[in-house]
Each structure stands twice: as C-alpha cells, then as structure tokens.
C-alpha cells in the first residue's frame, strides 16, 4: 500500500463484505433450504438458519432423487456427471496437447489449415449449432451413451491454444539440445515438454472439468434414458416443472450436490486454476 488511509481501507472492506454477502447468500439459502422439512419450506418467510433434516434430505435425494415416481436417484446422475466431466477434461487435454505439439514443433504442409480449422471452432459454440449437431450424433447412433455425451464437446480450441501458447514460451535451446543429443521428437515430448507442462495441464483440468460438469443443454438433448441423465440437467429440469406442492428441501439438496464437486475442485486447485485461466487468454 502506498499510504495509510484508514477510512479508505474500512470502505474497501465494507464494499468487499457486501460483495461477499451477495455472492454467498444464494448458496447459503440453498444450503439452509436443504436442511429443513418440506412443510417448513412452504411457508413464507422461509427460515434463514439451518434446520435438523440435513441427513434425511440428502439420503432421500441420493437414493430416490426428487422422491416422486419416476425420478432418478442422484447417485446415478452424479456418477454420470463425473464420468462426463472427467471424460471431457482428460479427452480435451490429451488431444489438444498433442495437436499443439505438432503445430508448434513441426513444419508440415497443411499446418496452417489445421490451425485455422481448430481456431474457427471458437466462433460457433455448441449452443448455436445445437440442432444439426444433435442430428449428426443421432445419425451416428451415439444418443444415450457416454461417448455421445463426451466426444462432441472435446472438439474445441481453448485447450489447444493454451498449450500452444505455453510451448511457444519454452526456450528453443531445449529442443535444440534434445535434437543434438539425438532424442526423437516423442522422447522430447515425454521427457521434457510434458513434465514442464504440469501447471498448464492442472489449470486446463480444472477449467475443463467445470466446463464438462456444468453442461446443461447437451445432456438434456441427447439423453432420453434416465441411466444417462446428468445432475445439472436434472436439477434445472426439476426446477422448471410447475409442481402443486414443491419439495424445495429436496430440490435445494439436489442443487447443493450439483454445485459441490466443481466448487471443491476450484477451491482445492485455486492457485493453478487462477493462473491457468488468466494465462489462457494472454
């Protein structure tokens, strides 16, 4: 700090605390709602402190979902979301780190064509071309499958760009030394480049895990069998159903469980994630 201005510091804390309250309040109310019974949550004003039905509610949603005939247990949808998020994150990292390696460390005909082909995917996110993409996946027979949930989403440019950016910042001397010592390109990739990329990989993992976990429209469209439902789409779909006697306690317990894994990933890997996020765009 440049100078000491106590009132300004106090004002800063004050504004930050208001910010925190606005950020945390929706999550807090969700948590509180998930700890009461159904009747309490139907009377306005709803409580703002936790109640005593926490374990009961979470057990109900994990074993029988929204607790109506035909609702899916959350243990199933959480597993599906986990498979999808890990598949998207790991799949994207693998295919983009090798394509970035090729684009940075080799000169070959069609190199720039490949680069631009990857680049243009930035301009048309899956939400915009949702109808034809659905058609393609349907005609390949990939509806209601993990490969249908995962593979169409790993065609994206962000990860390739991050790794390309990182590889460009690696000193040329390293590749030169490897070449002089007669190491093959793949040897250089495994023994030198990959270990150096650990931070970028960790950052990309967090970003893509969250991207995969938080997908909404894609799983909504391509899954018709409950055994492939994901948690985010289940929560959102349940919320938009007009219910005569809504079970807010269960819905909010479902929302808590839908938020928990990505929030944990961000909280635990905050440093790598922040660095990766800010550096991707440089």
Partner 1 sequence: MEKRVTFNERWLPYLLVAPQMAITLVFFFWPSGQMIWQSVLLEDAFGGRTKFVWFENFKSLFADPTYFDSVRLTIVFSALVAALGLAVSLLLAVMADRVIRGSSFYKAILVWPYAVAPAVAGVLWGFLFNPSVGIVNWLLHGVGIDFNYVVNGNQALLLVVFAAVWAQVSYNFLFFLAGLQSIPKSLIEAAAIDGAGPTRRFWDIVFPLLAPTGFFLLVINTLYALVGTFGVVASLTQGGPGQATNILVYKVYNDGFRGQDLGGSSAQSVILMLLMILLTFIQFRFIERRVHY
Positions in 121-150 near partner 1 (CB under 8 A): 121-125, 127-133, 135-137, 140
Does the footprint of partner 1 cover residue 224 (CB under 8 A)?
A: no
Rounded distance between C-alpha atoms, residue 266 and residue 144, angstroms? 29
Residue of 56, 68, 147, 186 interacting with partner 1 (CB under 8 A): 186
* Structure-token match 């944990």, residue found: 264
Q: 221 near 144, Cβ under 8 Å?
A: no
Record the tokens describing residue 159, joined without a space: 């990860």
Does the footprint of partner 1 cover residue 116 (CB under 8 A)?
A: no
**Stretch 41-80: interaction string toward partner 1, x if CB under 8 A:** xxxxxx-x--------------------------------
**Stretch 232-251: interaction string toward partner 1, x if CB under 8 A:** xx-xx--xx-------x--x
Rounded least distance, CB 52 to partner 1, Å: 19
* Span of 51-59, 62-70, 119-127, 191-199 interacting with partner 1 by CB under 8 A: 119-127
Rounded distance between C-alpha atoms, residue 153 and residue 125, angstroms? 9
Record the tokens describing residue 273, joined without a space: 């994630």
Q: 208 near 174, Cβ under 8 Å?
A: no
* Span of 53-61, 65-73, 108-116, 195-203 interacting with partner 1 by CB under 8 A: 108-116
Rounded least distance, CB 92 to partner 1, Å: 9
Does the footprint of partner 1 cover residue 82 (CB under 8 A)?
A: no
Residues near 275 by Cβ (< 8 Å), separated by ≥ 6?
A: 199, 203
Does the footprint of partner 1 cover residue 30 (CB under 8 A)?
A: yes
Rounded least distance, CB 69 to partner 1, Å: 22
Rounded distance between C-alpha atoms, residue 96 and residue 90, angstroms? 10
Q: 273 near 207, Cβ under 8 Å?
A: yes
Rounded least distance, CB 123 to partner 1, Å: 5
Rounded distance between C-alpha atoms, residue 254 and residue 243, angstroms? 16
Alpha carbon 115 to chain centroid, angstroms = 25
Rounded least distance, CB 39 to partner 1, Å: 12
Rounded distance between C-alpha atoms, residue 162 and residue 241, angstroms? 40
Rounded least distance, CB 272 to partner 1, Å: 12
Does the footprint of partner 1 cover residue 15 (CB under 8 A)?
A: yes
* Span of 54-62, 67-75, 97-105, 192-200 interacting with partner 1 by CB under 8 A: 97-105
Residue of 77, 80, 99, 249 interacting with partner 1 (CB under 8 A): 99
Rounded distance between C-alpha atoms, residue 243 and residue 276, angstroms? 42
Rounded distance between C-alpha atoms, residue 233 and residue 220, angstroms? 6
Does the footprint of partner 1 cover residue 208 (CB under 8 A)?
A: no
Residue of 49, 107, 224, 225 interacting with partner 1 (CB under 8 A): 107
Tally of residues, the chain: 282
R_g of the chain computed on alpha carbons: 23
Rounded least distance, CB 51 to partner 1, Å: 15
Rounded distance between C-alpha atoms, residue 61 and residue 38, angstroms? 13
Does the footprint of partner 1 cover residue 185 (CB under 8 A)?
A: yes
């Amino acid at each position: 700090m440049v100078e000491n201005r106590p009132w300004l510091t106090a004002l800063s804390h004050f504004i930050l605390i208001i910010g925190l309250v606005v950020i945390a309040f929706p999550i807090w109310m969700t948590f509180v709602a998930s700890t009461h019974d159904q009747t309490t949550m139907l009377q306005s004003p709803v409580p703002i402190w936790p109640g005593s039905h926490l374990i009961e509610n979470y057990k109900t949603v994990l074993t029988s979902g929204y607790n109506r005939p035909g609702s899916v247990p959350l243990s199933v949808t959480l597993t599906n979301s986990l498979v999808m998020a890990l598949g998207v994150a790991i799949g994207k990292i693998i295919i983009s780190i090798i394509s970035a390696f090729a684009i940075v460390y080799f000169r070959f005909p069609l190199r720039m064509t490949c680069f631009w082909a990857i680049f243009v995917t930035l301009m048309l996110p899956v939400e915009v071309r949702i109808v034809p993409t659905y058609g393609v996946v349907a005609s390949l027979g990939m509806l209601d499958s993990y490969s249908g949930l995962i593979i169409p989403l790993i065609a994206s440019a962000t990860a390739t760009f991050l790794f390309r950016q990182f590889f460009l910042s690696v000193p040329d001397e390293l590749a030169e030394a490897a070449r002089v010592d007669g190491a093959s390109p793949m040897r250089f990739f495994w023994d030198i480049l990959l270990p150096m990329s650990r931070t970028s990989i960790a950052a990309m993992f967090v970003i893509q895990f969250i991207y995969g976990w938080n997908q909404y429209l894609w799983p909504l469209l391509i899954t018709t069998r409950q055994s492939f439902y994901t948690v985010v789409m289940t929560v959102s779909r349940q919320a938009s159903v007009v219910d005569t006697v809504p079970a807010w306690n269960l819905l909010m317990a479902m929302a808590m469980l839908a938020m928990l894994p990505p929030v944990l990933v961000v909280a635990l890997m905050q440093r790598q994630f922040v660095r990766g996020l800010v550096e991707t765009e440089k």
